Chain A
Amino acid sequence: MIINKSEIAGLLDNLVKEYRVYAPVQKDGIVTFEQINEGTQAKPGATSKKPPKEILFPQSEELFNYQVDSQGLRMEDKIDDTKSVAFGVRPCDAKSMMLLDNVFHNDEYEDVYYTTRRKNTLIISVGCNQPASTCFCTSVGSSPFDTDGSDVLLTDIGDSYLAEAITEQGKEFLCKLNLPASDDQAKTKAEETKKQAQLTSEVDTTGIKEKLDDMFDHPYWESLYEKCLGCGACTYLCPTCHCFDIADEAKDCAGCRVRNWDSCMFPLFTLHGSGHNPRTSGKERWRQRAMHKFNYFVERYNASACVGCGRCIKNCPVNLDIRQVIADIKAQDTGSEVS
C-alpha cells in the first residue's frame, strides 16, 4: 500500500483519536520518541537520540502504589494497556524490541508492565535509505530494511512511503486505513531503494561469542576501560540495554515502588550490602558490558545484544567506539586457536 508523505500528518491526526501515538519529535535539536497530539509534530525518518525502548520500558516507571493504615494494606498496580502506535521506529530499534522480549518474558516470569505494553503497541518502522556512518546493523545480523520486530515496514520512495504489513496485526491495521494499493512502479522503486541503502561501516563479528568464551581473564580488559568515564550514556541510549533498579518513594507507610533504568557501568550496580563488590573497577564493568552483549546474551537467547544502531558510538563523551572494541576482541590472541 502507498501512503503519500503529504498525508502522513492527517493520517496521524486520525490515529491520535483512536490510539496513543508515539513518534520521533524534534525539540531543542534533540529527537526523542514522544506521545503526539497532532500529526505535524512527528518527524518520521529521524533517528531518535534515546531509543524507542522507552515506549515499552520507560526510564522511570511506577510499578504500584501502596498504603498501610488501620484498615490494612492496599496496593494498586498500574499496568498500562492503552492501545498504542509507535510510528517511525528504525528497523534496528524494532529488532531490539524482539531481543527485549526475551528478557522481559523469560522461561519463568513475565514482566506484565512490559508485555502488556508490547502486546498493545503496533510498531510501524521506517527503513533506512541512508544509514549513518556509525550504523553497523549488517554486521550484527540486521539490515536497514530488517522486518524483525515491526508490524508494518515503510519504505521511503520519494514522495510517498510503500507500506508492507509484516504481521497479522500490521495487516489488519493497514486494512483499516483504506490506503491505495501499491502499483508495480512503486514496488520496483521500493526494491531499488532497499538495494541502494549501503552501509559504510562494517565490523566482522563472526566467531566473537566463541572468542569471548576464552577471554574472561584476558589482559585486553586492563587497557580497554582506561579512558571510560563509567557513565550511563552508552547503556541508557542503547536500545537493547535493559538493566534497572527498583526503589521505593514513600512517606511513612504510603508510597510507590518505582523502577528506573540502571547501568552496569556504575560502580554501585553490584555493590553488596556487606561492602563487597564483585566488579570493583571499570575493567570488570566494561568486560561485563562487552561480555553481556556478545557472549552471555548470545548464550541465553541466541542473538547478540547489539543491533548496530551506533548510538553508543555517537554519544560516548570520550569516543570509546564499540566497533573498535569488537575488532580488538577479534584480534586478541587467546591461545585457544594455536593447534
Chain B
Amino acid sequence: MNKNNPYLPIPMRLVKNFCETEDKLIHTFDLEFVNKEDQENFKYLPGQFAELMVYGQGEAPFGIASSPNEPGILKFSVAKVGVVSKALHLLEEGSTVGVRGPLGNWYPVEDLKGKNIVIIGGGFAFTTLRSTIQYLLDPVRRGDYGDITVVYGARNPGLLLYKEELQEWENRDDINMVTTIDRPAEGWEGRTGFVPAVVEEVAPSAENTVCIICGPPVMIKFTQPVLEKLGFTPEQIIMSLEMRMKCGLGMCGRCNIGSKYVCKDGPVFTLEQLKKLPNEY
C-alpha cells in the first residue's frame, strides 16, 4: 500500500496471462513488481485481496491467489464479467497494470497452528484457497499444522483451476487432496459428485479442526449442514465474502454488512461472527 496515499496503485508488470479454464472465462495473471521497494513493502497473508487496475479502464477487487512464499510475483485469477475483468483478459504480457493492496483481513493462519485444517472450495472461488494451501505446504511451516484436507469441486474437469498444482498436491502425502466434478465426464477418472456430498463422504473430523470454505452461495448453503453434522461449530467455520467494493478502505460505504465493512473488517469472517450480523449479503 502506498504509505502516503492509499488510492494510488503501485505499478506491476504482467508477466503471464494464462487462460485457465475450458470456457475461457477465467484467466490467471502473474504480475511482477516494477519497483524493488514496492515488493518489500507488499506484505500479505492468504485471504487478502487487492484492487487491480487496468490503466484507462478502472480497478476492481480480486483475491490474491499467490502466497507470500512465492516471492516476487502476485497471482490473480479473474472471471470475465465487466469492464476491468474484460480489459485484463485482453492485456498483452509485458503491459503495466496497477495494484492497490494488500487489502482486508486474512485467514487466521497464526491461530490455526497446531490444528487440522479442512479447505472446501468450489468453482473459481479457489483463488485465496490456493494461496492458503501454498502457504501451509511451505516446508518451513508445514510442521506447525496438523492434517490438511482439501475438497475442491467444479462443474466439469475443464473448469478446475490450477490443474498442475492439483495434480502435484494429489501426489503428496502431507495433504489429502480430493478433487471432484459435478457429473461423470469423458476422460475424468477422479471423483464425481457435488461438493457437499463429497465432504460428507470424506467426513473430516471436527476435532481440533478448522474449516475454511469458499465458493458459490449454493455450495456454501448445502455444505453448512454437512459440516454441522460432522460436529463443526460456527467458530470452526471460516468464510470469505464478496461484496461490491470500490475504495477497499472502509470509506465509500457500499460493502457493509451491518456495521462491518467487508473490505476492511473482512472479507474473512467466522460463521459465528456472520451469525451476529444482519443477513444481507
Contact = CB atoms under 8 A, between A and B. Distances in A.
> Are A and B subunits of one complex?
yes
B96 A77 contact: no
B16 interface: no
Contact of B252 (A75, A110, A244): A244
A284 B254 contact: no
A296 B254 CA distance: 13
Contact of A254 (B56, B217, B256, B259): B56
A297 B8 CA distance: 27
Interface stretch (B109-117, B135-143, B240-248): B240-248
B45 to A, nearest CB: 15
A77 B5 contact: yes
Contacts of A300: 259
Interface string A121-147: 000000000000000000000000000
B20 interface: no
Interface in B208-264: 217, 242-244, 246-247, 249-259, 264
Interface string A54-85: 00000000011010100011010101000000
Contacts of B77: none
Contacts, number: 126
Contact of B256 (A66, A109, A274, A296): A296
Given A75-B8, A272-B243, A278-B281, A244 B58 contact: no
B81 A253 contact: no
Interface in A263-285: 264, 269-274, 276, 278-279, 284
Contacts of B264: 106, 108-109
Interface residues of B, number: 42
Contact of A279 (B60, B82, B249, B280): B280
A242 B253 contact: yes
A82 B208 CA distance: 58
B96 A274 contact: no
A314 interface: no
Given A75-B8, A273-B82, A278-B243, A244 B59 contact: no
A111 interface: yes
B44 interface: no
A interface secondary structure, majority: mixed
Contact of A270 (B9, B96, B243): B243
A108 B55 contact: no
B7 A296 contact: no
A172 to B, nearest CB: 27
B71 interface: no
A227 to B, nearest CB: 23
Contacts of B7: 63-64, 77, 111, 113, 246, 257
A119 to B, nearest CB: 14
A152 B8 CA distance: 35
Nearest to B12: A73
A334 B229 CA distance: 33
Contacts of A255: 55-56
Contacts of A321: none
Nearest to B58: A248
Nearest to A252: B56
A333 interface: no
B253 A111 contact: no
A292 B253 CA distance: 10
B251 A284 contact: no
Given A112-B4, A250-B57, A271 B253 contact: no
Contacts of B259: 295-297, 299-300
A63 B247 CA distance: 12
A245 interface: yes
A181 interface: no
Interface string A89-124: 000000000000001101011111100000000000
A244 B56 CA distance: 20
Contact of B244 (A106, A110, A250, A273): A273
A243 B242 contact: no
Interface in A7-66: 63-64, 66
Top-5 shortest CB links A-B: A243-B253, A296-B259, A299-B259, A250-B56, A248-B58
12 contacts: A77-B5, A77-B7, A77-B8, A216-B278, A246-B247, A248-B57, A255-B55, A273-B79, A278-B280, A292-B253, A296-B259, A300-B259
Interface of A: 63-64, 66, 68, 72-73, 75, 77, 79, 103-104, 106, 108-113, 216, 242-248, 250-255, 257, 262, 264, 269-274, 276, 278-279, 284, 288, 291-292, 295-297, 299-300
Given A111-B7, A300-B259, 4 more contacts: A103-B250, A243-B254, A269-B254, A274-B81
